[in-house]
Amino acid sequence: MDADYVIVGAGSGGSALGYRLAEAGHRVAIIEFGGTDWGPFIEMPAALSYPMNMGRYDWGMGTEPEPHLGNRRLVTPRGKVIGGSSSINGMVYVRGHACDFDHWAEQGAAGWGYADVLPYFKRQEHWHGGHDGADATWRGSKGPLHVTRGPRKNPLFQHFIEAGAAAGYPVTMDYNGEQQEGFGPMEATIWQGRRWSVASAYLRPAIKTGRLKIVRGLARKVVIEQGRAVGVEYEKGGEIKVLKAKAEVILAASALNTPKLLMLSGIGDGAHLQAHGIEVLAHRPGVGSNLQDHLEIYMQFASKEPVTLYKYWNLWGKLTVGAQWVLTKRGLGASNQFEACGFIRSDKGVEYPDIQYHFLPIAVRYDGKAAAEGHGFQVHTGPMRSKSRGTVRLRSADPRENPEIRFNYMSHPDDWEEFRKVVRLTREIFAQAPMAQHVKHEIQPGAAVQTDAEIDAFIRDHAESAYHPCGTSRMGRADDPMAVVDPDARVIGVEGLRVADSSIFPRVTNGNLNGPSIMTGEKVADHILGRRLPAENAAPWINPNWRISQR
């Protein structure tokens, strides 16, 4: 195939990028190892715990033993399927806080401040909110990505929001709009009862133009000649081939696989590459460094009344929900059940939220394997801006081997202090009348867990990844020795090569990363095409008393 642009990875960044390049008239080839995204486990929102635990759809990566979490190995699902991780994720849609992007710009990612990225968030969105008092001027209405809100029929959703208000926190009708801070309805990439992944939003429409093709195969490395990327070497059916790019190669293979591919291509820390017998083409020690994630715990509570989803937590219940969804695309199967949320600040002197809540009206593990003692509910919660940093390194020079992943979770002392606040502030919210009326007792951590040492032990044993890896090909100034790409997303030291996924984030954003990853693909497309949407001078809401009060 003859391609102007070769993209590696049909996930959130790569699909948005490919769509915009094809729309502009270019011929685009996307190399993707994963197979079809067709099937009820991916399409049905309520089935979200299945695909991320299926080898058919997931790369099956995991961490090395994490020293600060009792040497546990944590799973790190990444989508090995058309649509990438947007086909196996929880479908929660969060842009991130305005200050996150201003921080990126301060760190050397010029042109990526909130005023610069807001037009791209608007361009990607087809927003269906606004019926509950949210301000549509902050949102996009014509983009490919449908963003909706759950029906919040279960009274627990509203009572969780009311409990936040009773504890003295603001209520926000749109955390993706002017004001993130507060409690309110959660948004999802769900449309007409189905998961609305980037495969539905971007890939299929781009394929229909005839200008974008998916090439199945395992990307092995970028082919670089005289300092310029000219194509991608990939393996298909035991045969090694090269797909040539007339203009550029763009990596969008995830924050775990993109640095692996860069290193296999000779771009990375020189000593590390030489140790694996790889010729060093560009010494960029930042490749695979600066790895970040969100860590979270599930705080679970037993329910006094049978108002939770536990009544469906049996074979007959699941069959009933599934059958209704198959026939009508409605009912409980049409929601990811994350329909209410919160973003709060952990202390006075914290300028914008650093704790996130996903509320779920059942007490269950994320992998769906165990429901806790009957009727219950839970919040997934944790600090948003951990100071811990990790690494992605090659295990070997074999492209088929997963990399060595060390998040180094909880390696910074501030992380422990912040996580203890999460536990105590959460208990206070659930003690407010709107939720207290439902709480029978605390399942986990459990009422006996009170001291700093007891809370720390619970975190060490039970904290899980929220599956938001990023930062491993950090964007920064071209003269920054630890930056991997410049503010145009060009790999520093190699011509014709860019990165367009969450690898380039200088710092992890507030909330779930699918939204900002899609925005990255949207925006990098314009950098390639030599155009920009005009910056928007919108002033987001910051709590006026943030210096002196926690709420």
The single residue listed with the structure tokens 């930062």 is: 471
81 annotated to a ligand binding site: yes
Q: What are phi and psi of 68, to 5 degrees?
A: -95, 0
HSE-CB of 478 using CA atoms within 13 angstroms: 8
d(CA 254, CA 83): 12
Q: For position 489, what pLDDT does the model report? A: 98
Please tell me whether the peptide bond between 119 and the residue prior to it is cis, using omega within 30 degrees of 0: no
154 annotated to a ligand binding site: no
Q: Are 232 and 8 in contact (CB under 8 A)?
A: yes
Closest CA to 266 of 257, 254, 276: 276
d(CA 405, CA 467): 13
Does residue 283 have an active-site annotation? no
- The domains of the chain, with CATH numbers, are 3-529 (3.50.50.60)
Q: For position 370, what pLDDT does the model report? A: 65
CA distances from 299 to 54, 129, 306, 443, 457 (A): 26, 29, 19, 8, 14
Instruction: Flag residues of the chain having pLDDT under 50.
Output: none
Kindly name the residue from 294, 438, 468, 527 that is annotated as catalytic.
Answer: 468
Tell me the sheet residues that pair with 6. 29, 249
Task: Please give the single-letter amino acid code of residue 116.
Answer: D
- DSSP code of 400? T
- DSSP code of 463? -
Q: Are 527 and 519 in contact (CB under 8 A)?
A: no
- DSSP code of 132? T
What sign does the dihedral 267-222-467-182 (CA atoms) show?
positive
Closest CA to 475 of 485, 466, 460, 467: 485
What sign does the dihedral 367-37-522-234 (CA atoms) show?
positive
Q: Are 176 and 130 in contact (CB under 8 A)?
A: no
494 annotated to a ligand binding site: no
User: CA-based angle 425:428:430, to the nearest 5?
Assistant: 115
